[in-house]
Amino acid sequence: MKRAFKFRFYPTDVQAAELSRTFGCVRLVYNKALAARSEAWTMRHERVDYNATSAMLTEWKKTEELAFLCEVSSVPLQQALRHLQGAFSNFWQKRAKYPRFKSKKKSRDSAEYTTSAFRYRDGRLMLAKMTEPLDIRWSRPLPEGRSPSTVTVSRDAAGRWFVSMLCDDPTIEQMPKLNTAVGIDAGITSLVTLSTGEKIANPRSERKDRERLAKAQRELARKAKGSKNREKARKKVARVHAKIADRRRDFLHKLTTRLVHENQVVVIEDLTVRNILKNRKLARAISDASWTELRTMLEYKCAWYGRDLITIDRWFPSSKLCGACGTIRDEMPLNIREWVCECGAVHDRDVNAALNILAAGLAVAACGDGVRPQRSTPGGRSSVKQEVVPPQRSRAAAQPRG
C-alpha cells in the first residue's frame, strides 16, 4: 500500500533559492502547456497530448527567452506536464472542471521529483541540482527497508517548507472483521453525532484564534500594496491560518482513526458542501467544521484497513424522518433540536438523523443500490419505503465526491 510521509525541513539560502526557481519554472511550463493545448483545440480542434507538450518543452529550452529552464532539474518540469495530462483526463471523464492556469500568488508552490532526480540513503535526502542534503525534521521514521518512489517539495503561504515522500508501507494491513456499524450525522454544534447516541463536540478551531486573525488582517489592510511590510503582514495572517488548519487536521485525524478502528461499516451522507456554503449565516461555521476533509479521511482510511464506507443519497430526509413509524415531516427548521412525532416518539434531531442514516446505509449494503423516500400515503401523510434508485443515480450517490 502506497503512503505519503510528510515532514518539515529547513533549507539553506542556496537550497531555498534553487527550489524557488524550480517552483517558478514548474508554474511557467504548466501554464504554457495549458495555453498551447487550449489554443490548439480552440483554433484547430486538435487534441495535444503529453508527448506533444514534452516535445514543446524541449523546443522552449532551446530558445533564448526560455533558456533558464535548463538551469533547474528537468524532472519536475516533466511531472508538471504529466499533472496537466491528468487534469485533462479528469475533465474529459467529467470528474473535474477545465484546468486552470496557476497563479504566482494563489497557487501552491510545489515540485515533484522521481527516483532519477533524488538520492535517499541512510535518512539523507539529496535532490537534483543540490550539493547538500535537506535538513529534515524526522517526526517519524519511514518504513524499515523502504525508499521513496517520489518526493514532493512544497512551500505553504506561511513560508514553511515541507517534503512528502511516497513509499510502500507494509504496516498498513486489513484489520480484523467486526460486527459493528455506525451512522454519522455531521453538524456544527456537534461536529458529528453517532447512531450510538454519542455526540462529539465541534472544536471550533477557527473561533479560538478569531481575534488574533482579525488583528493580523487589520494590520495587513493598512500596509501599502507591493511593500515589504505588506509581505511580512501577509505571512503573519498565513501563519494564523496555518495554526488553525493544523489544529483542525489533528482533531479530524484522531476522530476518523477511532471511527474506522471501532466499526466495520461507516455510513455518511453525500453532502454538497459547496452549495451549503451559500448560506451566509452558516458559511463560516461550516467551513470551520471541514466536513469535506472529514469525509476524505474516512474514505482512504476505510480503504486502508478493509472497512466499508457507505454514502447515502444527499436527498434522503434523515432529519425529517421518524425512525419509529417512518413518517416524514414537511418542515424541520434548524432551530428545532427535539421533536415529537405523531406516533408519540420523542426524537433528538441529530441522534434520530444518525440512526436513519445508518438504517439507509445498511439497506444500501443489503440490496446493492441506493434508497430514497417515496411519498405515497393518501391524505398528505408521508411514509418511507425502500425504493431502488435508477442505476445512473445510485452509482453517482455511491461514489465519493470531492
**Which residues are catalytically annotated?**
185, 269, 350
β-strand pairing of 150-155 with 136-137:
unpaired
- Using DSSP's 3-state secondary structure scheme, residue 278 falls into coil
**Alpha-carbon gap, residue 344 to 346, rounded angstroms:** 6
Q: Report residue 116 as a C-alpha cell.
A: 532519477
Q: Report residue 49 as a C-alpha cell.
A: 497530448
Give the phi and the psi of residue 158 in degrees, each rounded to 5. -85, 0
Instruction: Write the CB contacts of 18 (distance below 8 Å, at least 6 apart in sequence).
Output: 72, 129, 130
| DSSP H or E run through 124 | strand 124-127
Please give the span between the terminal C-alpha atoms of the chain, in angstroms, as a whole number: 22
**Alpha-carbon gap, residue 279 to 299, rounded angstroms:** 27
Quickly list DSSP for 298-336: HHHHHHHHT-EEEEE-TT--TTTB-TTT-BB-S---TT-
Give the phi and the psi of residue 179 in degrees, each rounded to 5. -105, 15
